[in-house]
């Protein structure tokens, strides 16, 4: 096991964690302010990826397709919030779970009808090669782009939430929704705006991860589970918690999948190691969540003190 492999997998974990943050940021604010469990959040990630793939084909430019897919997905998210999700705010969590699970099925079949089961989305040619970071170490240029975009968006979101009036209202709603309403904050309008921002972030994640994974129907379900793990670890309603939780989950998941089979190969036969390593690695993030909740039941950085 060389240091180059360790650095490469750490960078992969950082990249995956930053993309998880883009999903978890909108999800944690929606859950923190409106107490709304939205299982259809992953469907916006899928829609963003399909729209990006369509627009990349239409424009012939990867950058143009991604930049156009972000506002398009944000508008769709706001329309979804105003037409369907707004009726669920006063319902209990079970009703919200059932309704948004139905939305997942509707979105999956709608995408299948419009686009088919999958769409091609390739890494742009200019970023398809490696970049030398250190002597003897190269790393894919496209993954470096994802890390840079993820870090820039995380910084911009931090400034938006922490340094602007809109951010002040968001933090007030996440900390004490009833008091914010009593002070005259237009929570419904604020929530529509937040939902649009969250949908746009989903589009960024879907468009950038599409070339690495696959743009296909149902792609949002697995990553949505990890997004919920992130907001539980970080603390519901906390942007800082979502960032820290995303980085922890991304690094633990990636490092575990890369190195546990190697570690098991030292002690067990290759057949056993190749089967047990990935299986146990997939459980590591849930063990991490259990440890965090045992130490801090409200998460690392809960918005509601």
Per-residue pLDDT tens over the stretch 75-87:
999 999 898 888 8
pLDDT tens string 100-156: 999 999 999 999 999 999 999 988 888 888 888 877 788 889 999 999 998 998 888
Element (H, E) at 216: strand 215-216
- Gap between the Cα atoms of 289 and 248, Å rounded: 10
CB 36 within 8 A of CB 49: no
Q: Are 181 and 187 in contact (CB under 8 A)?
A: yes
Mean pLDDT of 33-47: 86
pTM, two decimals, is 0.88
Q: What is the mean pLDDT of the chain?
A: 85
Q: What is the mean pLDDT of residues 171-185?
A: 71
Res. 291 pLDDT band, cuts 50 70 90: very high
Pairing of strands 215-216, 118-119: antiparallel
Cα distances (angstroms) measured from residue 217 to each of 11, 68, 238 = 28, 21, 30
* Residues near 291 by beta carbon (within 8 Å), at least 6 away in sequence: none
Of all residues in the chain, the percent with pLDDT exceeding 70 is: 96
First to last CA, the chain: 44
pLDDT number for residue 303: 67
Distance, CA of 28 to CA of 177 (rounded, Å) = 14
Give pLDDT tens digits for 145-163: 999 998 998 888 888 877 8
């Amino acid at each position: 096991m060389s240091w180059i492999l360790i650095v490469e997998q750490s960078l992969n974990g950082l990249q995956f964690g930053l993309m998880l943050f883009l999903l978890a940021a909108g999800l944690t604010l929606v859950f923190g302010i409106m107490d709304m469990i939205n299982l259809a959040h992953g469907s916006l990630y899928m829609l963003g990826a399909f729209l990006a793939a369509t627009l990349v084909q239409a424009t012939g430019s990867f950058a143009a397709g991604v930049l156009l897919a972000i506002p398009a997905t944000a508008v769709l998210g706001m329309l979804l919030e105003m037409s369907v999700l707004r009726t669920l705010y006063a319902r209990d969590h079970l009703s919200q779970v059932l309704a948004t699970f139905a939305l997942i099925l509707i979105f999956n079949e709608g995408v299948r009808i419009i686009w088919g089961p999958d769409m091609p989305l390739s890494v742009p040619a200019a970023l398809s090669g490696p970049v030398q970071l250190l002597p003897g170490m190269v790393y894919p240029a496209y993954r470096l782009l994802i890390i840079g975009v993820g870090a820039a968006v995380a910084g911009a979101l931090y400034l938006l939430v922490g340094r602007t009036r809109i951010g002040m209202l968001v933090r007030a709603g996440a900390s004490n929704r009833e008091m914010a309403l009593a002070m005259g904050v237009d929570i419904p309008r604020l929530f529509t705006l937040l939902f649009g921002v969250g949908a746009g972030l989903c589009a960024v994640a879907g468009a950038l991860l599409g070339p690495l994974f696959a743009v296909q129907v149902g792609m949002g379900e697995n990553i949505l589970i990890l997004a919920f793990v992130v907001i539980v670890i970080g603390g519901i309603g906390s942007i800082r918690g979502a960032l820290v939780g995303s980085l922890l989950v991304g690094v633990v998941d990636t490092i575990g999948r890369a190195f546990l089979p190697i570690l098991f190969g030292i002690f067990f036969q290759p057949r056993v190691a190749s089967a047990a390593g990935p299986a146990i690695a997939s459980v590591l993030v849930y063990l991490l969540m259990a440890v965090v909740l045992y130490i801090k039941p409200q998460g690392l950085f809960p918005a509601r003190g």
